[in-house]
C-alpha cells in the first residue's frame, strides 16, 4: 500500500434534509450556516473536494432580516450586457418582488466559484412562504442560536 494515499472510509451515502426558517435569523448568519452544512464542514470527515447528499430547504425567505439600514441602502445590480443595461434595485423592493434572489445571491457568494459550487447550489431549495413540498423527506429543523 502506498503511504502517500488518503484513505476515505466508505460511509453510507444517505441523503439528509435540513430545514431553516429564515424569519428567525439575520441574512448573513443564516447563509453562512447553510454554506457550512453544504460544504460538509459539520461532519467529522471533511474533504474540500468532496460532496455529500445534504439538501437544505429554506422557508419564509420573504421575512429575512438584516441589521442596520441595509433595507434602504443595500443595492443589487444586474446588467443585460448591452450598453446602458445596468439596473439597480434596493433590498426592500427586491424582497417584495423576488425574496428568494436575496438568499441565492448571498449563498452563491459563500460557495466555491467552480463546478463544485454550482453542484452544491443545486441542493438548496428556497421558498417565500412556510409551505414546501419536501415533507416526505422528513427534514431536520436546524436552530442556529
- The domain locations on the chain are 16-67+100-141
DSSP E strand boundaries for the chain: 16-21, 54-59, 75-79, 86-90, 124-126, 140-141
pLDDT tens-digit map of 127-136: 999 999 999 9
Say if CB 25 and CB 65 are below 8 A apart.
Answer: yes
CATH topology of domain 16-67+100-141: Ribosomal Protein L13p; Chain: A; (3.90.1180)
Q: What are phi and psi of 55, to 5 degrees?
A: -115, 140
Say if CB 111 and CB 119 are below 8 A apart.
Answer: no
pTM comes to: 0.87
Closest CA to 134 of 21, 61, 55: 55
pLDDT tens-digit map of 38-79: 998 988 878 888 888 899 999 999 999 999 999 999 999 999
Residue 52, CA distances (Å) to 40, 42, 116, 130 in order: 7, 11, 11, 26
Amino acid at each position: 500500500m502506498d503511504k502517500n494515499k488518503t484513505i476515505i472510509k466508505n460511509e453510507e451515502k444517505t441523503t439528509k434534509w435540513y430545514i431553516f426558517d429564515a424569519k428567525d435569523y439575520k441574512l448573513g448568519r443564516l447563509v453562512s450556516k447553510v454554506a457550512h452544512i453544504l460544504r460538509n464542514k459539520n461532519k467529522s470527515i471533511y474533504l474540500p473536494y468532496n460532496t455529500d447528499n445534504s439538501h437544505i430547504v429554506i422557508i419564509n425567505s420573504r421575512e429575512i432580516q438584516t441589521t442596520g439600514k441595509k433595507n434602504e441602502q443595500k443595492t443589487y445590480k444586474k446588467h443585460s450586457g448591452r450598453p446602458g443595461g445596468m439596473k439597480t434595485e434596493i433590498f426592500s423592493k427586491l424582497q417584495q418582488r423576488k425574496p428568494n434572489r436575496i438568499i441565492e445571491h448571498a449563498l452563491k457568494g459563500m460557495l466555491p466559484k467552480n463546478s463544485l459550487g454550482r453542484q452544491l447550489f443545486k441542493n438548496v431549495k428556497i421558498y417565500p412562504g412556510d409551505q414546501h413540498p419536501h415533507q416526505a423527506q422528513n427534514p431536520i429543523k436546524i436552530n442556529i442560536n
